Structure 1
């Protein structure tokens, strides 16, 4: 059984904070977490793609996606949508789609904005669309999580979020609680679906 892949793009560190907190939830559920990122892209056609990230986890490969048991996909919001570097990578996964490599794997999405009404929910929903095309099973956050009722910052039933006022990457208590819950739920779903597939049962 493969690890839970936590794939994200982060400019100022807020989305990275969410990714690390989700990974803690995955590991708390007894599953291994694999943190990966994507390279930046530039509007300059002559700009070179960096070979390695200057800091943080390695760049993702298609094999990382193929081999994972579940996926957490994160990006900051750009005009109500995922950032271009993440969209660029997702658009390169058509080979996995042709192979059906991600069918029936659970997935969740997460994002960060600099303002309270910065397009978090549209970003989460648009990030889920290509995962649905891949046949993945989307896992949100149920309202049985108390922090979803008490949060005055980030947090939605569509996935965990962070409000990075003044570019602060420090998660609130509720945001971190929801990240942990999201990671645990994703890992538990991955284990359950893997066990079901091992027994030969259909979804």
Structure 2
């Protein structure tokens, strides 16, 4: 009875995609299946190395990690448009009581990471999902000089759109994935 955690993201310069990859490692360490998918872009010229998400994958996941770059303290328009299109899932209650968390990447330390994570959480709460962050029992959360928050994994790329994660950012993303996998598995077994 393996749980499936959907890692759903949009990435422009690679920082969010790099976090998604590390979260997937954590999910696998947590003995769950990681399924990485992308949000459909509004600009058809934008491409990704992961397949686009289907409605069935979203409905059938046992847990969700949702990622977007920072845009003025909010998720990108592509991610907002995606959630705006999920009214039928909301009406049916397809995502109620599934664990979920958020992750993001910005160009600077004060670029709006925490505000973005909070605004990204709102559609998940409306869908009845159970939010999961990173507890302060993770030592890197006390020591990070770049990304990482209790609200979820973050990456600070600098103004050069660097997708290379710091060691602390990597460890926090893996810990987040492992925690999300554990919660998804426990709740799936409980629903049994």
Aligned partner of 2:28 in structure 1 is 27
Higher relative contact order at CA 8 Å, sep ≥6: structure 1 or structure 2?
2
Aligned partner of 2:186 in structure 1 is 192
Q: Displaced runs of 4+ in structure 1, greater than 2 A? A: none
Q: With the length of structure 2 as denominator, give the TM-score of the two structures.
A: 0.96
Choose the corresponding residue for 2:108, options 105, 111, 115: 115
Aligned partner of 2:14 in structure 1 is 13
Aligned partner of 2:176 in structure 1 is 182
Count of aligned residue pairs for this structure pair: 190
Q: Distance in 2 between matches of 1:65 and 1:184?
A: 19
Q: Distance in 2 between matches of 1:111 and 1:11?
A: 11
What is the correspondence of 1:3-82 to structure 2 with a 5 Å cutoff? 3-42=4-43, 49=44, 54-82=47-75
Asked whether the 8 Å contact 1:2–1:67 carries over to 2, the reply is no
Asked whether the 8 Å contact 2:67–2:104 carries over to 1, the reply is yes
Aligned partner of 1:201 in structure 2 is none
Q: With the length of structure 1 as denominator, give the TM-score of the two structures.
A: 0.91
Residue 83 of structure 2 corresponds to residue 83 of structure 1:
no
1:13-61: CA deviations, max 9, x gaps? Answer: 010000000000000111110000023214xxxxxx46xx744111111
Q: Distance in 2 between matches of 1:116 and 1:55?
A: 26
5+ unaligned residues in a row in structure 1: which ranges? 43-48, 199-203
